[in-house]
Structure 1
Amino acid sequence: MGQQITRRAVLLSGAAVIAMATFASAQVTLFPEVEEAMARAAAMDWATPESERGGLYLVAQFDSSGPDAWDAAAHPLVYITSESYDNDNPDRTIAGGFAGFHLIDGYSKQVVAEFIAVTTPETGGMRAGPHGVNVSPDGRWAYVGWSEIDDSPTQYTSYVAIVNMQTLKIDKLLKQESLYQGQLRAQRLHHIQSWRDVDGNDRTVLQWGFGANGGPHHILDPNDDNRVVRSITYDDVQVMGHPYTTPSPDGKTLYVSIGSPELREAPFKGAGIAKVDLEYGTVTNIMEVGNHPIGITHDVDGRFTYVVDGSNSLVYKIDNDTDEVVGHTSAGVAGPYGIAMNWDESLIFTVGKGEGTHNRGAVLGVVNAKPFTSYTGLRQQPIFMGGSASSLDHAILHPDPKVNELWVSNMKGWETIVLDIDTFEPSDWIKTPNGGDTHSGGFVRYAPDFTGELLVDMGGPKSESIRELIRQAKAAG
């Protein structure tokens, strides 16, 4: 790539972070800080009634200050995506389990920085690397999770690191464990989304769990030391399904899937979507949204919500004024997972992951948003993404309408794959820096002083400036 990539790494041992390391070459300098970090965490008044109710705990508090880890002036638009080890790439450069994220320049498509967490050989390995990764609405903090094996391969501890995006150093290490139906349950961190609520408060939601058995979810205040302001648990939304939780464009409500392993396999379409009012905590259930609701997105004005059903390969349309399902159509792919819209919101793209089937999908489908039906403007569908495409999962709209691209994460491959929306063909295959896989992502705009703004993530546009551009595109037809 003709440039040096800035890297920050964390070495782990069992259930504790034991060192911080900074390296731009093979030479590693260690700064053991664990005891001090855990002592700082114990002394902090970080916990809230909601963090305790939802089972999220502060493990360690680090000093994340330091020099800039990358040049925001040279890379004002970056794409953040995770990197992990769960693929069969023979050219992976890190042995064993690892977890982290990397930043890609939104225009040159070069990797400019990375953060990596690595397990040392004696730990016994990782249970899971990261899936979702995201930043706070102001771009100050990144959130990335992983799970480590404890006493046996069936026992694990799940963490989320809150990383300073300017220095790429860990600020906090949190872990999740909570009561579920009378027993302790440690879920793995899956997705993260961020937004500004109706009162202008920055919010980030950590979404835990896999399959059709999600929760709890924790809503953090990034400007109040990332404390938990609300937990969403089984007591709030019973039988929570896949953890693909998306805020409404106005920031008033959070859309949470209703599901379970039993509903996923049921002969009737009995799953649904719960609308959680973020001010009052009241819940409105919208039922008969397939058997396995996963990807959720909204048009920019919040009139309609679109949901993919991974079991039946359908897309559902919800009228948000009446909270009723007003239509469904084929997703055009087997086992859809992620969902995104184009600039004038005339088209819906579904990500063919093969959820619930082969789980090796490498295609995108296209659906007409209005009329709500299959798109027939292509000679053939679905769109094959090529390269290392395998188990594709999320599509994120590039925030520059002149670029007109979707960036697609690649859970079993080792590239971020770019779709040219003008031609409906893949145009770029951006290799991960260590040959690992990716899952989820978002575009962030930075000023030279690292003042930032999250523009678009897996849930859709998160910036009002981007929403206004989409409204203009819709008005222009």
Structure 2
Amino acid sequence: MKKRNLLTALLAGASLMAMAATAEAQVTARADFSSAVAQAATIDWSSAESERGGLFLVAQFDSSGPNAWDPADHPMVYITSESHSNPNPNKTIEGGFAGFQLIDARTKEEVANFIGVTTPKSKDLRTAPHGVTTSPDGKWAYIGWSEVDDSATKYTSYVAVVNMQTLKLDKLLKQESRFRGEQRAQRLHHIQSWTDVDGNDRVVLMFGFGANGGPHYILDPKDNNRVQRSITYDDVQVMGHPFTTPSPDGKTLYVSIGSPEIRESDSHNAAGVAKVNLDTGAVTNIMGTGNHPIGITHDVDGRFTYVVDGHGSMVYKIDNEIDEVVGQSSAGVAGPYGIAANWDESFLFTIGKGEGSHNKGSVLGVIDTKTFRPTRAIDPQPIVLGGSASSVDHAILNPIQELNELWVSNMNGWETIVLDLETFKPKAWIPTPHGGDTHNGAFVRYNADFTGEVMSDQGGVKSETMRDMVRAAKAESAKK
């Protein structure tokens, strides 16, 4: 990539801030750009793990400033990505763009939005963005994008770390790594955060597309967002679609095992998931989860793990005490991508994206967790989401329990779809601020002083408070 393009991207990210940001703050961010680049070379940010995995600091910014939004007015927000990669003719930004949106989880009104980069032409951005989340305490947000060079054959992948209080850029990271002795550029895909078994806050950046994921990077958001551990091909052989999920106890990270060859093979159940011990790095392989495992989630007590096979349209159940597959079921939809449970974990919702075929899916399947097969109790099926739903991919449980909602991201549409878990019908379609698309998200609870907590994301429930609420819902359901 030419330096001129990177400079343009950085200036856009520093100046096109949230709608709530002041003009003075925008000017300050633009003026500080040159010094930020100079500082990056002297900041002691790198570690042995960041260098082993190939993640580097490009620039450090001053992200201080006035509050961009008021958490006292919006104590529970949903953060979801927004980019240009959809066919909506009414997008309000020309060319390519990458950012995120904050939505009030109760009122469904937009709180603020952030644009991290804009480019004159859509084709200048190869990916923009897929993943977004915050650190477990809600302090930092993370998004990524990839920019292509003039030949449109080489791209450079970036990760922006954003101050959630000011909605200003704090860091820009760049991914460069070697794979089997050669340089390989990967694009940032999914992001999740959690608190590990020792109480440490962690964020995992998952790179790759298709069935050749990795490397993945685990950041410590309380240590200047340094890389605490890299997960590479040397650690997990081989990594498939870039979807990882931490266990509820925070001890292990589940990483999909696969490859393009496995995905396209005639073998049945040739792929699997790897359990990576986050303390020792030891890996336990659990095989037999189809040929293209993608979405992974767990019950709140960590007894079972559920994995969807995007190409085989199946769901697999792993018993975590014996690390073996103990059940399999049709997903009830074609090409499932994500997976999520309702409050009492009686149902699993499979996200019918049409992975591996048309990739225009707009429906949900429903699996009864007791019988572990598609339920016949809900009619009709699959559940049609309506609106601009197209290539739906993830579902996240809204922590406000009385609302009883599942929020669905919409990679080829321009709305977040809200499913009523009482009626099993969609009840709201929340538009993106610039007409872009969405891909994954997280619910974050905030106090008035901007301290916060990630409650749930596309990997499942992340807060112990919310886990207790699910346990209570399961106990209540068992009485009926």
TM over 0.5: yes
The one-character-per-residue Cα deviations of 1:38-87 (angstroms, maximum 9, x if unpaired) are 11111111000000000000000000000000111111110000000011
Matched-pair contact (CA < 8 Å) for 1:13–1:120: no
| Alignment root-mean-square deviation, CA | 1.6
Change in Cα spacing, 1:358 to 1:74, as seen in structure 2 (3 Å) is: same
Give the equivalent residue in structure 1 for 2:90.
91
Change in Cα spacing, 1:124 to 1:401, as seen in structure 2 (3 Å) is: closer
2:400 matched to 1:400?
yes
Give the equivalent residue in structure 1 for 2:474.
474
TM-score by length of 1: 0.95
Q: Which amino acid in 1 is paired with 2:5?
A: G
- Structure 1 residue matching 2:402: 3-state secondary structure: coil
Q: How far 1:152 sits from its partner (Å)?
A: 1.8
Distance between the aligned counterparts of 1:253 and 1:120, measured in 2?
39
Q: How far 1:257 sits from its partner (Å)?
A: 0.3
The one-character-per-residue Cα deviations of 1:152-195 (angstroms, maximum 9, x if unpaired) are 21101100000000000011000101000111111100000000
Matched-pair contact (CA < 8 Å) for 2:128–2:144: yes
The one-character-per-residue Cα deviations of 1:302-343 (angstroms, maximum 9, x if unpaired) are 000000000110000000000000010010000000000000
Give the equivalent residue in structure 2 for 1:5.
none
Change in Cα spacing, 1:181 to 1:23, as seen in structure 2 (3 Å) is: closer
Distance between the aligned counterparts of 2:229 and 2:18, measured in 1?
37
Off by >3 Å, runs of 4+ in structure 1: 22-30
Give the equivalent residue in structure 2 for 1:227.
226
Distance between the aligned counterparts of 1:405 and 1:86, measured in 2?
26
Summarize the alignment of residues 19-418 of structure 1 with structure 2, pairs less than 5 Å apart: 20-21=14-15, 22=17, 24=19, 30=27, 31-121=30-120, 125-268=124-267, 269-418=269-418
Which has the larger displacement, 14-23 or 459-468?
Answer: 14-23
Q: Which amino acid in 2 is paired with 1:15?
A: L
Q: How far 1:229 sits from its partner (Å)?
A: 0.6
Change in Cα spacing, 1:130 to 1:122, as seen in structure 2 (3 Å) is: closer
Q: Which amino acid in 2 is paired with 1:255?
A: Y
Distance between the aligned counterparts of 1:32 and 1:25, measured in 2?
19
Matched-pair contact (CA < 8 Å) for 2:124–2:152: no
Matched-pair contact (CA < 8 Å) for 1:84–1:100: yes
Q: How far 1:379 sits from its partner (Å)?
A: 2.1
Distance between the aligned counterparts of 1:161 and 1:449, measured in 2?
23
- Structure 2 residue matching 1:134: 3-state secondary structure: strand
Distance between the aligned counterparts of 1:176 and 1:315, measured in 2?
32
Matched-pair contact (CA < 8 Å) for 2:82–2:101: yes
- Structure 2 residue matching 1:241: 3-state secondary structure: strand
Q: How far 1:374 sits from its partner (Å)?
A: 1.4
TM-score by length of 2: 0.95
Q: Which amino acid in 2 is paired with 1:84?
A: S
- Structure 1 residue matching 2:199: 3-state secondary structure: coil
Which of the two has greater helix per residue?
Answer: 2
Distance between the aligned counterparts of 1:23 and 1:409, measured in 2?
21
Distance between the aligned counterparts of 1:305 and 1:367, measured in 2?
14
The one-character-per-residue Cα deviations of 1:452-473 (angstroms, maximum 9, x if unpaired) are 1000011001000000000011
Q: Which amino acid in 2 is paired with 1:396?
A: I
% of aligned pairs identical? 68
Q: How far 1:418 sits from its partner (Å)?
A: 0.3
Which of 3, 6, 17 in structure 2 is aligned with 1:15? Answer: 6
Matched-pair contact (CA < 8 Å) for 1:15–1:150: no
